[in-house]
Amino acid sequence: MRPTGKLHLGHYHGVLKNWVKLQHEFECFFFVADWHALTTNYDDPSGIEQSVWDMVIDWLAAGVNPGSSTMFIQSQVPEHAELHLLLSMITPLGWLERVPTFKDQQEKLREKDLATYGFLGYPLLQSADILVYRAGKVPVGADQVSHVEITREIARRFNHIYGREPGFEEQAEGAIVKMGKKNAKLYRNLKRRYQEEGDMDALETARALLKEQQNISLGDRERLYGYIEGGGKVILPEPQPLLTPESKLPGLDGQKMSKSYNNYIGLREEPDSVAQKVRTMQTDPQRVRRTDAGEPEKCPVWGMHKIYSDADTQEWVQNGCRSAGIGCLDCKKPLIDAIVEEQRPLHERAREYEGNPDLVHSILQEGREHARDAARDTLEEVRAAMGLHYR
């Protein structure tokens, strides 16, 4: 996530609640993309550092747990930059120029001078961010799937160019023997079924078999992944997009919640401020007077009720609005209470970290070390494949 400072409830419902869930299902790497912030804000980096701390505290307040995931700052893991450089040697310019968000962002940010390599190359840096951890899944919204797709293309191209190491087949056959007679026989059978019959179930079973093997090295495992697919060694596995449920939480005006629209409620907004913002929300324009009947579907407040209110409250809102039985301030009261209640534990967790900045630093330091260990393993293989492995 780019360091944009303190987050809002749209981030919480759209991203962070999903991160909290994923950290218990997968090995997760969550990082502050501070280099990415420079691709569009290189001319004024003054706010980046404070934005990093504010955002990390919001992550922690939301329940992202450093004991269940790895949290770090991108620029403190230089392997991201090295892999970005190495991948740039094989990435055609046309691939970067056709990324949908490239022209879209240029159009939206016309007041900025974005004729820089950093801006053109940011999708490749994103690819390096993913591939350096050999990520299997990347949680993204539907509008970001194209970034995962270019990452897959780059991994495929890299493996095609560099995966056929000298003696590849001999080394693969030797790795099969190390698996033991029973597993070796099963692997060969699955390989034949996939390559001769196109049996995708056999491919998935073979991948699962290799994942369980304790007596072969990581290099042999990747070699055998490639061998069954009829290619070379898979040095950089192709990731899959893991679609994030779209946030259904609207902003205070009914549009998407965004700082740029100034229609947001902060993740750690003070209760009085939450109440003031919700009370002044625009409502159904037909309800000019208290006695006018309204239509909830035309009111931004109803969009929030659908997220925060239970079935009984929603029914009360529907009936009361359409019959003019309740006023707009009556309608907003349970919504204010629900938002303040949801934020209560977030405030409590945040206070622990705001009062102890050294704890936040130590979390990021520990995350950095873990991330670097994983990234170094990838770079060792990448350098060797590209002829850059010196004694």
- pLDDT at position 248: 83
364 within domain boundaries: yes
Per-residue confidence band for 389, with pLDDT thresholds at 50, 70 and 90:
confident
Same domain, 18 and 151: yes
**Tokens 């809002």 correspond to what residue?**
8
83 within domain boundaries: yes
- Any residues with CB less than 8 A from the CB of 287 and at least 6 apart, and which? 293, 294, 321, 324, 328
- pLDDT at position 218: 80
254 within domain boundaries: no
Spatial distance between the Cα atoms of 159 and 162, rounded to a whole number of angstroms: 5
Same domain, 307 and 170: no
243 within domain boundaries: no
Beta bridge partners of 241: 138
Spatial distance between the Cα atoms of 271 and 337, rounded to a whole number of angstroms: 9
Mean pLDDT, all residues of the chain: 92
Same domain, 372 and 332: no
Same domain, 91 and 188: no
- pLDDT at position 164: 73
* Burial tier of 325 (Cβ tally within 10 Å: 0-12, 13-18, 19+): exposed
Mean pLDDT of 304-314: 96
> Is residue 328 scored above 80 in pLDDT?
yes
| Range with top average pLDDT, 165-174, 256-265, 372-381 | 372-381
15 within domain boundaries: yes
Smallest CA-to-CA distance from 53 within 268, 364, 371, 266 is with: 364
Which of 97-111, 152-166, 228-242 is predicted least confidently?
97-111
Range(s) of the domain holding residue 319: 268-355
- pLDDT at position 55: 97
Same domain, 42 and 123: yes
Mean pLDDT of 110-115: 84
Per-residue confidence band for 246, with pLDDT thresholds at 50, 70 and 90:
confident
Q: What is the pLDDT of residues 153-211, one digit of tens each?
A: 999 889 888 887 778 888 889 999 999 999 999 999 999 888 878 788 998 999 999 98
Residue 219 sits at the vertex; the CA angle it makes with 228 and 129, to the nearest 5 degrees, is 100
Same domain, 78 and 126: yes
| Number of domains into which the chain is organized | 3
Could you tell me the pTM of the whole model? 0.83
> Is residue 361 scored above 90 in pLDDT?
yes
Domain harbouring 142, CATH code? 3.40.50.620
Same domain, 123 and 84: yes
256 within domain boundaries: no
Which of 79-88, 224-233, 350-359 is predicted least confidently?
224-233
User: What are the distances in angstroms from CA 320 to CA 256, 314, 325, 331, 349?
Assistant: 26, 10, 4, 8, 37
Mean pLDDT of 314-318: 96
- pLDDT at position 24: 96
Q: What is the pLDDT of residues 11-45, one digit of tens each?
A: 999 999 999 999 999 999 999 999 999 998 899 99
- pLDDT at position 169: 85
> Is residue 81 scored above 80 in pLDDT?
yes
244 within domain boundaries: no
Same domain, 68 and 112: yes
Same domain, 35 and 139: yes
- pLDDT at position 383: 96
- pLDDT at position 232: 74
- pLDDT at position 322: 93
Same domain, 111 and 148: yes
Q: What percent of the chain has pLDDT over 70?
A: 99
234 within domain boundaries: no
Same domain, 192 and 334: no
Mean pLDDT of 66-84: 98
